[in-house]
Amino acid sequence: MTTRTPTTDATAKAATAPAPPIVPLPPAAARAVTVAGSAVAFVGTFLAWTWTDEFPGNLTVTGYPGGLQVLTLVGALLTLLFVLSGYGVRGLGWLTPGGTNSPVLLTALGVLGTTGYAMGAISQELGGLVNLEPGAWVSGIGALVAVIGALGLPADQPYDADEPHPGLWGRIRHSLTAPEPARAKDLPSWAEILIIAAGFGIGLYVFAYGIGTEYSELFVGFLIMAAFGFTAVTRAGLLRRLSALTAKHRNVTLAAAFVAAICFPFTQSNDQFALIGANILIFATVALGLNVVVGLAGLLDLGYVAFLGVGAYAAALVSGSPQSSIGVHFPFWAAVLTGALASLIFGVVIGAPTLRLRGDYLAIVTLGFGEIFRITMNNLNGNSGPDVTNGSNGIPNIPDLKVLGFDLGVPHDVLGHELTRSGNYYLLMLLFTAVVVMVFRRSAESRIGRAWVAIREDETAATAMGINGFRLKLLAFALGACLAGLAGTVQAHVSYSVTPEQYQFAGSVPPNSAFLLAAVILGGMGTISGPLIGAALLYLIPAKLQFMAEYQLLLFGAALMLLMRFRPEGLVADRRKQLEFHDTGQLDVPDDKPLPDGATGVAKAGA
Amino acid sequence: MTTTAPTTTTVLDATDVTMRFGGLTAVRSVDLTVNSGEIVGLIGPNGAGKTTFFNCLTGLYVPTEGKVSYKGTVLPPKPHLVTQAGIARTFQNIRLFANMTVLENVLVGRHTRTKEGLWSALLRLPGFKRAEEASRERAMELLEFTGLAAKADHLARNLPYGEQRKLEIARALASEPGLLLLDEPTAGMNPQETRAAEELIFAIRDKGIAVLVIEHDIRFIMNLCDRVAVLVQGEKIVEGPAEVVQADERVIAAYLGTPFEGAPGQEEAAEVAAAEAHSTTEGDDK
């Protein structure tokens, strides 16, 4: 008690003193150096970076940036914009409602990262630094100068009161933080809707660019630039502004996201990339279904992929495939209902005995049931059991779907754009994703959803509130299973065949149970966009970086550990999780007022 | 047959409740009734079986022997059915839904009094919105009643201790109970908070809800309760008005122990005290 007053004084002092920059430069000079550096890096992208077009992307043409050069160019441009906004240039202030200097540093680091990676990749693949043309050096040195300049900019916020003198590492980390932006002025609602649309447009463009990267060097460069750029945009407070708008216009946001997603297959002329899109949607939809079970009801299900398998097998059996043991051909809607119903029944049958268990026990038992499904499908081959599934050969030759006379198997011309087979399935799957999003959203915001969350929080208290724990857990389990089954029916048709090996606990190709769970946790439990983003990343990165397939699980594990260390609430956090893991100042503690002198005196006398 | 006193009906009637865990008898044939409009206290030293008895009443445990009936019907041994029947409870160690908001906590309490199922939520049937709004309104009323309305959007975990206790009561009240069971509602509270809790419990009684309360704080319980039952080692030894219980020898013995053979009488005790006072003053002089 006696030391309280002095500490408050000290924290007050620390709070007012601005944090010094890491590189001691006057702010004006630092700014000028950053501008100069990024301008040089920008100019460098117009020069040739190497002499031969053996390096993919053709970086040899002067005056026409290509491949990795474009990424550096975009990054340098972003850096310039952020610095100029920091100068207070009129019309750019909206760019940095939150931090001004940390976004500059982040984008500068991104430029340095991509340029440095490009230079490294060129010299490694072509054999030596000599293969670099001056343009690469210009950009590289420009990026380095920009980073040094950005390190000279003062930090956006004073040091934490509880750590007033951090070490070098602490100072670097601190220079990357930024305060939250203030509340934005209310714009007319059409303007806000336009901003949301523009946000989703940019998001779609970045995503489509990432999927459409033709070679892995470009994808790595894209990942570096996207990660730094995204963090910069977050630090600048733009993301917070945008999410405030999306929270205000939720239906508009959903519509915009949906429209952006519809536009995706039209941006891809290559069927292979559209197929990646369709597979991402399948993976994401199943992850969202799992989110009902894990995120809302808190039931750790490690065998969830089995429900996808049940849906897929059911759809395959009634698809009219010549190898199907049931020689029927259901129309599409009936096949979907069959798949969903089969999964639902399977979910209830598995859930009824297992949901009496809690926590770790449930996880182990569901893991077991997931494997039982796969092994059973393997054994129903005519030798070990009745011939239903052709064993490990699976059910191949699943014919393409025809929906309302529209053959999904052949390309179609829509408004002058060719929609490939994968594009067709992508759009069909998108419809299912929309249904699942709606189911998730509506059930979460209801009496049932609240009861699920209550069970997750404290099951004993929930039952004492009159919630029939077992019934509601079974409901969540069955609903999750049904949604996965829905996705499974489309998956069977997209991939032409179903085999037991597609539905493992862990494997190199998503979706499998481990990756599904990882998508939910990585993205953010209990949110809608979280599992969608998590699934997209988890599918896209291995699909694009084929060369590191051997190390995939290792890298995956490392990424998960880093994420759990630095962002335990997942990439997308709902407000609840944000409050759970981080102090955001919303604690209901009254302001820390220094005690009156009298109180101090009494305490001293007492001591 | 009309009497001058308001017709009191028996809300809770526990007869001959016995709970054994293996060889240990935690509660031994306890009878207890709670009438409408009454606040009944249940006291006893640590480990007397109070909370076990509570758990038997609320269906968390199934009593080995005996039966519990609420307003004339025997209660099913499932907690959620007990709540549905009209008995709500709070917990000794606060068990809120920590990561839900204050309002959501109370809305969960409304679970048994609303019916909207999954289909209604998915299809947003016409009744859904009306039921949600009614629930919200009722929950806000309860938050006003307990004085938490201003914090409706805060996470339950961020409430200070005393308010968490209040929220637990508000949540229990949301299930529109006829009987409220409070398990040590003032544990860890300072005197002001205890007084506020006392007033809240009186206000709940005035709403026509019978209250059964477990407590350690004798002063609190003596102020509050119309009737007090004392549980010692799983057995009910006394039941009656507060003054009677307070004066009962067996109760005193249970809390303070019985005087043993050759125990210091009052004179010896006074002598000892005097000697101690003398020695401390001497010590100060040196």
DSSP β-ladder status, B24-35 and B10-21: antiparallel
All residues of chain A having their beta carbon less than 8 Å from the beta carbon of residue B121 are 442-443, 445-449
Q: Is residue B266 part of a domain?
A: no
Q: Which of B99, B110, B116 sits opposite A457 (nearest CB)?
A: B99
Find the mean pLDDT for residues A555-561: 81
For B140-158, b/e burial (b = at least 16 CB within 10 A) is bebbebbebbebbebbbeb
Nearest-CA distance B22 → chain A (Å): 23
Residue A65 CB burial class (10 angstroms; 0-12, 13-18, ≥19)? buried
Q: Is residue B138 part of a domain?
A: yes
Distance CA B286, CA B283 (A): 5
Cβ–Cβ below 8 Å for B121 and A588: no
Q: Is residue B90 part of a domain?
A: yes
Q: Does the pLDDT value for residue A280 go beyond 80?
A: yes
Q: Which of B78, B128, B158 sits opposite A587 (nearest CB)?
A: B158
Find the mean pLDDT for residues B158-182: 92
Cβ–Cβ below 8 Å for B100 and A450: yes
Does A446 touch chain B if contact means CB atoms closer than 8 Å? yes
Nearest-CA distance B101 → chain A (Å): 8
Of B56, B11, B69, B60, nearest to B29 by C-alpha is B56
Q: What is the pLDDT of residue A4?
A: 43
Residue B80: closest C-alpha in chain A: A466
Report the range out of A137-151, B100-114, B269-283 with the highest average pLDDT.
Answer: B100-114
pLDDT tens digits along A576-589: 555 555 544 444 33
Q: Does the pLDDT value for residue A290 go beyond 90?
A: yes
Q: What is the pLDDT of residue A490?
A: 92
Q: What is the pLDDT of residue B212?
A: 94
Does A247 touch chain B if contact means CB atoms closer than 8 Å? no
Structure tokens at A88: 């207070």
Predicted confidence band of residue A45 (pLDDT cuts 50, 70, 90): confident
pLDDT tens digits along A454-484: 999 999 999 999 999 899 999 999 999 999 9
Q: Does the pLDDT value for residue A572 go beyond 70?
A: yes
Q: Does the pLDDT value for residue A590 go beyond 80?
A: no
Nearest 5°: CA angle at A3, between A602 and A601?
15
Residue B175: closest C-alpha in chain A: A465
pLDDT tens digits along A69-123: 888 888 888 888 888 887 777 777 777 777 778 888 888 898 899 888 888 888 8
CATH code where residue B162 lies? 3.40.50.300
Does A453 touch chain B if contact means CB atoms closer than 8 Å? yes
User: Cβ of A565: how many Cβ atoms within 10 Å?
Assistant: 8
Instruction: Look up residue A333 and give its amino acid.
Output: W
Predicted confidence band of residue A284 (pLDDT cuts 50, 70, 90): very high
Q: What is the pLDDT of residue A157?
A: 75
All residues of chain A having their beta carbon less than 8 Å from the beta carbon of residue B175 are 465-466
Find the mean pLDDT for residues A282-304: 92
Q: Does the pLDDT value for residue A2 go beyond 70?
A: no
Find the mean pLDDT for residues A9-27: 60
User: Cβ of A181: how many Cβ atoms within 10 Å?
Assistant: 17
pLDDT tens digits along A348-375: 999 998 888 888 899 999 999 999 999 9
Q: Is residue B272 part of a domain?
A: no
Q: What is the pLDDT of residue A7?
A: 42
Nearest-CA distance B64 → chain A (Å): 20
All residues of chain A having their beta carbon less than 8 Å from the beta carbon of residue B110 are 447
Does A448 touch chain B if contact means CB atoms closer than 8 Å? yes
Predicted confidence band of residue A304 (pLDDT cuts 50, 70, 90): very high
Nearest 5°: CA angle at B113, between B112 and B114?
95
Nearest-CA distance B203 → chain A (Å): 21
Q: What is the pLDDT of residue A579?
A: 57
Distance CA A440, CA B187 (A): 40
Predicted confidence band of residue A573 (pLDDT cuts 50, 70, 90): low
Of B56, B59, B90, B86, nearest to B71 by C-alpha is B86
Distance CA A241, CA B157 (A): 27
Q: Is residue B169 part of a domain?
A: yes
* Residues of chain B with a CB closer than 8 angstroms to some CB in chain A: 58, 60, 78-80, 83-84, 88-89, 91, 95-100, 104, 107-112, 114, 116-118, 120-122, 124, 128, 131-132, 135, 151, 154-155, 157-160, 171-172, 175
Q: Does the pLDDT value for residue B177 go beyond 90?
A: yes
Q: Is residue B273 part of a domain?
A: no
Average pLDDT, chain A: 81
Q: What is the pLDDT of residue A599?
A: 38
Q: Does the pLDDT value for residue A604 go beyond 50?
A: no
Among A231-235, A323-327, A578-582, B232-236, the range scoring the smallest mean pLDDT is A578-582
Cβ–Cβ below 8 Å for A460 and B60: yes
Q: Helices in A416-498 by DSSP H: which ranges?
A: 421-444, 447-457, 459-464, 469-494
Average pLDDT, chain B: 86
All residues of chain B having their beta carbon less than 8 Å from the beta carbon of residue A454 are 97, 100, 108, 111
Q: Is residue B274 part of a domain?
A: no
For B92-119, b/e burial (b = at least 16 CB within 10 A) is eebbbbbbbbbbbbbbbbbbbbbebebe
Q: What is the pLDDT of residue A12?
A: 43
Nearest-CA distance B111 → chain A (Å): 6
Distance CA A160, CA A171 (A): 11
DSSP letter at A591 equals P
Question: By residue range, what is the domain housing residue B245?
Answer: 10-259
Of A108, A340, A132, A334, nearest to A231 by C-alpha is A108
Among A322-331, A544-553, B94-103, the range scoring the smallest mean pLDDT is A544-553
Q: What are phi and psi of B183, to 5 degrees?
A: -100, 100
Our measurement of the distance from residue A572's CA atom to the centroid of its chain's CA atoms, rounded to an integer in Å, reads 7
Report the range out of A508-512, B139-143, B269-273 with the highest average pLDDT.
Answer: B139-143
Instruction: Work out how many domains chain B is built from and give that number.
Output: 1
Q: Does the pLDDT value for residue A600 go beyond 60?
A: no
Q: Does the pLDDT value for residue A64 go beyond 80?
A: no
Among A258-272, A343-357, A497-511, B255-269, the range scoring the smallest mean pLDDT is B255-269
Q: Is residue B99 part of a domain?
A: yes
Predicted confidence band of residue A8 (pLDDT cuts 50, 70, 90): very low
Structure tokens at A8: 């408050």
pLDDT tens digits along A407-462: 777 777 777 777 888 888 899 999 999 999 999 999 998 999 999 999 999 999 99
Number of A/B CB contacts below 8 angstroms equals 117
Kindly state the percentage of chain A with pLDDT values over 70. 90
Predicted confidence band of residue B210 (pLDDT cuts 50, 70, 90): very high
Q: What is the pLDDT of residue A476?
A: 94
Find the mean pLDDT for residues B208-214: 92
Residues sharing a CB contact under 8 Å with residue B177, sequence separation 6 or more, in sequence order: B83, B86, B87, B88, B209
Distance CA A27, CA A17 (A): 16
All residues of chain B having their beta carbon less than 8 Å from the beta carbon of residue A465 are 80, 83, 88, 108-109, 111-112, 171-172, 175
- ipTM rounded to 2 decimals: 0.86
Q: What is the pLDDT of residue B262?
A: 65
Q: Between A600 and A206, where is the model more confident?
A: A206
Q: What is the pLDDT of residue A129?
A: 79
Cβ–Cβ below 8 Å for A446 and B160: no
Predicted confidence band of residue A271 (pLDDT cuts 50, 70, 90): confident
Of A170, A232, A218, nearest to A20 by C-alpha is A170
